[in-house]
Amino acid sequence: MNTQMIIFLILAILAIACSVLVLQLRRISHRVVSMAFVFFAIAGLYFLLGADFIGIIQIIVYAGAVTILFIFGMMMTEHRNVTFSAHPRRAHRVLSFIGVATLLGFMLYGILGLDLPASEPYEGTAEAIGLELYGHYVVAFLAMGFLLTAALIGAIVIARKEAE
């Protein structure tokens, strides 16, 4: 087992453990911190794959901006009154387990059944990603901007109603 595999296992275990903590913790602030660790672990996996640009974007956008957005949302809303069910019903647990196991089975079947041709790895630069994003996918990029603006306006409206 080489060093790269050890680092991968550490980052993968960290991402999975913190993802489970996001679901298990009761306080929203603890969930946000755990989610930030998930984002950093995923960025580490990108760095391990050699996708440095995507890793930096992961840190800037998700670990930075999205986590700060959640913190602002916590500050603007009354989150202390929000409670999560301590003990889900047994039927919910069984159905959740069956659903996750089925999804995992389909994913493994699809991944193991792939017949990918051997090719050279893609080394995307910031210029190539920018040309692709603003060239072929400019409409989707603009639609995403409009969607995020609408979500921000909706969050402000909800926060103002709670304040009144």
Please give the sequence-ordered ranges of beta strands (E in DSSP) within 85-151, or none if there are none: none
pLDDT of residue 93: 79
Q: Per-domain residue ranges for the chain?
A: 1-82, 127-164
With cut-offs at 50, 70 and 90, classify the pLDDT of residue 17. Answer: very high
Helical ranges in 25-84 per DSSP H: 28-49, 52-57, 67-76
pLDDT in tens, 80-115: 655 555 666 778 878 888 998 999 899 888 888 888
Dump pLDDT digits (tens) for 107-141. 888 888 888 777 676 666 778 778 877 888 888 88
Radius of gyration of the chain (CA): 20
CA angle 156, 162, 164 (to 5 degrees): 105
Q: What is the pLDDT of residue 43?
A: 93
Question: Among 33-37, 74-78, 149-153, where is mean pLDDT lowest?
Answer: 74-78
Percent of the chain with pLDDT over 90: 18
Lowest mean per-residue pLDDT among 39-43, 96-100, 110-114, 144-148: 110-114
1-82 fold: Four Helix Bundle (Hemerythrin (Met), subunit A) (1.20.120)
